[in-house]
Amino acid sequence: MRFFRKLAAVLVVLGCLAGFVLWENVSVQTEEFSVTLASLPAEFDGLRLVVLADLHGRQFGQDSAALLEKVREAKPDLICLTGDLFDEDTDLSMLPPLLEGLTALAPVCYVTGNHEWQVKELRQVLASMEAAGVTVLQNEYALLRRGEATLVVAGVDDPCGPADKKTPRALVEEIRAEQGDPCILMLSHRNDELPLWAGLGVDLVLSGHCHGGVVRLPFLGGVFGTEHQLFPDFDSGLYRSAQTTLFVSRGLGLGRLPFRLNNRPQLAILTLRCPKT
């Protein structure tokens, strides 16, 4: 009898653990961050950005209804999709209801990740995204306006894209030649390029790619890097170098390892602030 009681207790513990892991993988965690940018125009103080990264075609709720409700509750001024929204295994019929829902809430900007470039019909998909109202940034920029002030929102294709594409340096030089010395918000899928963007003086970079290290350990952070290294340097959250701030999203989807541990899918909200006077 004692044996069966112990066995039952073990099964209960294992069941609770399995339920916890399942909940961690299917429930979206909303997290808020405040980012102070020295060159942010006063008109944009309080601007709310929602960052969605590495969805990999997952749906949270029917037609992404649960995810869209989380975004609606965040009250974004701008929604930033930082790559790997879909991949080579995605049923692309999930995109129209998601994009229709997002563009109804706020302006949406998007850049490619590495996995989109494995999709044969990528060009057609990008055209359909633009037709749905998404601003697809392929080594180019757009202007966000408030009154007389402007904020540059730029984006670069993932390095897996065309080899002859415009370089990040050329894009930043083009922005400064045409817009003076503006505050630049850059969407770039890769999480490990802070030295590049700091060298170019970009103010804020939004990225993903690392999936938060897949497995996260207390006090140590993410375990697995994108280059098969352990405990990568830029796995989640805010990093700074010179005047540049990098934000790395933990993302929403699954990668080569079909699970996440201590690493819930993340919807990030960044509130931009001017320096206190």
pLDDT digits (tens, 9 = 90+) for 61-78: 999 999 999 999 999 999
Q: Which two tokens stand for residue 34?
A: 């405040």
Rounded mean pLDDT, 76-100: 96
What number of other Cβ atoms are within 10 A of residue 231's Cβ? 13
**Domains in the chain, CATH or no CATH each:** 2-273 (3.60.21.10)
Q: Which of 42, 49, 71, 46 is nearest to 186 (CA)?
A: 49
Asked whether the predicted pLDDT for residue 13 surpasses 80, the reply is: no
Phi-psi map region of 141: left, alpha, beta (phi>0 left; psi -120 to 50 alpha): beta
The predicted pLDDT at position 166 comes to 93
Q: Which two tokens stand for residue 90?
A: 């995605």
Question: What span, in angstroms and rounded, lies between the C-alpha atoms of 249 and 234?
Answer: 10
Rounded mean pLDDT, 182-196: 97
Question: What span, in angstroms and rounded, lies between the C-alpha atoms of 250 and 235?
Answer: 7
| Angle in degrees, 0-180, between the axes of helices 95-103 and 65-74, rounded to the nearest 10 | 20
Q: Which two tokens stand for residue 5?
A: 């009681």
Rounded mean pLDDT, 163-183: 94
Phi-psi map region of 34: left, alpha, beta (phi>0 left; psi -120 to 50 alpha): beta
pTM equals 0.91
DSSP labels, 33-97: EEEE-TT--GGGTT-EEEEE---TT--SSGGGHHHHHHHHHH--SEEEE-S-SS-TT--GGGHHH
Q: Which two tokens stand for residue 128?
A: 């359909």
Residue 175 burial class via C-beta count within 10 angstroms: exposed 0-12, middle 13-18, buried 19 and up: buried
Beta-ladder partners of 144: 151
Q: Please, what is the average pLDDT of the chain? A: 91
Tens digit of pLDDT for each residue in 142-155?
Answer: 999 999 999 999 99
Listed in sequence order, the DSSP H helices in the chain are 2-26, 65-74, 95-103, 122-131, 168-179, 194-200
Q: How confident is the model at residue 5 (pLDDT cuts 50, 70, 90)?
A: low
The predicted pLDDT at position 10 comes to 43
Rounded mean pLDDT, 227-243: 93
Q: How confident is the model at residue 256 (pLDDT cuts 50, 70, 90)?
A: confident
Q: Which long-range CB contacts under 8 A does 219-222 form with residues at least 24 apart?
A: 222/263
